[in-house]
Amino acid sequence: MLRELDNAWRLLHLLAAAYWMGGLIVLAMLAVVAHRVLDQAEFRILMSSAGRAFLTGSLAAWAVIAISGVAMAAGRLHGIDGLQSTAWGRTLEAKTGFALFAVLLTTAHSWPGRKPGRLAGLRPRDFYRP
């Protein structure tokens, strides 16, 4: 029973990671093609729209990755000291560090594109535009 549950968490984790990574690849390909074809104003509009459309799904994917990651770690690590004393824990720390670095890069990249005069921070409508 525990093995099936672990496999379910792993499946959810991998599906969410595939969605997130696949979305980044699509955004990168879109950026390359659009940069060659569109002028700067059209390019900004297109990439802003595409980024906002991907944001909602990527936040959901990150939530699934976090929840499933904690669930898988709980079955493998028996305390916080397991992060440093096991190879699995050290790998988990490295993966988490790389993921957080990617989030920081995304945030830093998105920050210059915010609208002038707007207060810092995100508002709920930033995540969903009908």
Residue 44 has pLDDT above 90, yes or no: no
In this prediction, residues 86-105 reach a mean pLDDT of 85
Give the model's pLDDT for residue 96: 87
pTM for the model stands at 0.70
pLDDT at 94 over 80: yes
Please tell me the distance from the alpha carbon of residue 10 to that of residue 98, in angstroms, as a whole number: 19
Short-list 53, 57, 59, 70, CA closest to 13: 70
Q: Is the pLDDT of residue 69 over 60?
A: yes
Residue type, 1: M
pLDDT over 70 at 79, yes or no: yes
Mean pLDDT (whole number) for 110-128: 54
